[in-house]
Amino acid sequence: MSRDQNNKIPTPVANAFISCSLRNEDEKFVTFIEKILRHCKVEPMGTVGRHSIAPVPVVDLMKKNIPLADFLVVVATPRYVQRDMTRGGISQGLSEMIHVEAGMAYMLEKPVVVFVKEGTAVGNFLPNITQYITLDGSNKNVQQQWPLIVKLLSEAINQAKQKKDAEEQKRFGRMLTNGLAILGGIKVFNYLTTDDES
């Protein structure tokens, strides 16, 4: 991980809800992806059971944490063996909870970034909402795909920033409109009370 001149971890420019498996066999790949994110100044957060824990239903924590994130990062690792009943093909698919978290982020219009562990089938939903990068967990593979990784994360950060800026402009516009309405109301009230007194 790169560090600045003061030997500190780079200040994050964004945070990302990490949608991932919590199984021990997936820990190494999840940690690998989180290192990539931190190197790119993205702070992992929100993962229920990993970065966030509370005595409430899992879905409630998802509903609370995903809106707080700038975007969502799916770390896709195999969970289930799946068989296509029509074609007969067998693949290793994701946990259904990862699809749920990605769906929540999509409904909130948050960018979704996907890193796929080689050999994992991502299903139909994720390829329809974003592009993804397949990694084998080796440093050589990351170096080969580094320009794409940086581009993908930069785009997600920019989209999140644009959305925040647009929301701030809307908020400012509403505040200005409300302020003018109140000021106008006071002027009308003053005008009406002045007429009554004359």
For residue range 99-129, list pLDDT tens digits in order: 999 999 999 999 999 999 998 988 889 999 9
Q: Distance between CA 84 and CA 40 in Å, rounded?
A: 38
pLDDT at 51 over 90: no
Give the pTM. 0.75
Which two tokens mark 191? 């005008």
Which pLDDT band, with edges at 50, 70 and 90, does 87 fall under?
A: confident
- Identify whether the C-beta of residue 110 lies closer than 8 Å to the C-beta of residue 69: yes
pLDDT of the residue at 189: 62
- Identify whether the C-beta of residue 47 lies closer than 8 Å to the C-beta of residue 19: yes
Of 10-14, 155-159, 194-198, minimum mean pLDDT range: 194-198
Using alpha carbons only, what angle is made at residue 157 by residues 60 and 52, rounded to the nearest 5 degrees?
Answer: 25
pLDDT of the residue at 94: 78
Which pLDDT band, with edges at 50, 70 and 90, does 162 fall under?
A: confident
pLDDT of the residue at 3: 46
Give the residue with greater pLDDT, 45 vs 196: 45
3-state secondary structure of 19: strand
Four-CA torsion 83, 26, 119, 61, nearest 10 degrees = 60
Of 5-14, 25-34, 125-134, 139-148, minimum mean pLDDT range: 5-14
Most confident of 151-155, 189-193, 194-198: 151-155
Average pLDDT, the chain: 82
pLDDT at 195 over 60: no
